[in-house]
């Protein structure tokens, strides 16, 4: 399960991260997204929030993001946090308009990566 908030600037993004943290989400389960990759990294570093990577997406999607355009990469990352394809596309549209998305999830990274894997093995 995830919860998300669209904000207009860095100050509001930092406030949203703080609010999610105060509501019990660990900082590593809070993610900040902006259209510009450098801005996303700056916000993530400034708020000490999580970064979507191998744990959240699994190996195939993480490597695949290297070859995707920024919009595809953002939708992939948002989807890996529990959003449906259509929800991820809606949030990506907000990012295209210059807004910032702050997403908090209560799902363990291990659960997300295994749910997103193509492993068809039976226990």
Q: What is the pLDDT of residues 15-63, one digit of tens each?
A: 999 999 999 999 999 999 999 989 999 999 999 988 764 354 444 444 4
Nearest to 29 by CA among 63, 65, 55: 55
Tokens of 111: 């659960």
Integer Cα distance of 53 and 55 in angstroms: 6
Q: What is the pLDDT of residues 64-92, one digit of tens each?
A: 444 457 788 899 889 989 999 999 999 99
Integer Cα distance of 89 and 10 in angstroms: 22
Three-state SS sequence of 99-113: CEEEEEECCCHHHHH
Residue 69 gets which letter from DSSP?
Answer: -
């Amino acid at each position: 399960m995830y919860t998300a908030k669209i904000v207009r600037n860095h100050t509001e993004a930092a406030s949203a991260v703080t609010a999610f943290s105060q509501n019990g989400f660990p900082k590593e389960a809070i993610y900040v997204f902006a259209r510009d990759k450098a801005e996303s990294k700056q916000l993530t570093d400034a708020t000490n929030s999580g970064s979507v990577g191998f744990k959240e997406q699994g190996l195939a999607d993480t490597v695949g993001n290297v070859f995707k355009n920024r919009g595809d990469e953002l939708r992939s990352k948002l989807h890996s946090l529990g959003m449906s394809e259509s929800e991820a596309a809606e949030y990506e549209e907000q990012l295209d308009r210059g807004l910032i998305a702050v997403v908090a999830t209560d799902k363990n990274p291990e659960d997300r990566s295994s749910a997103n894997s193509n492993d068809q093995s039976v226990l």
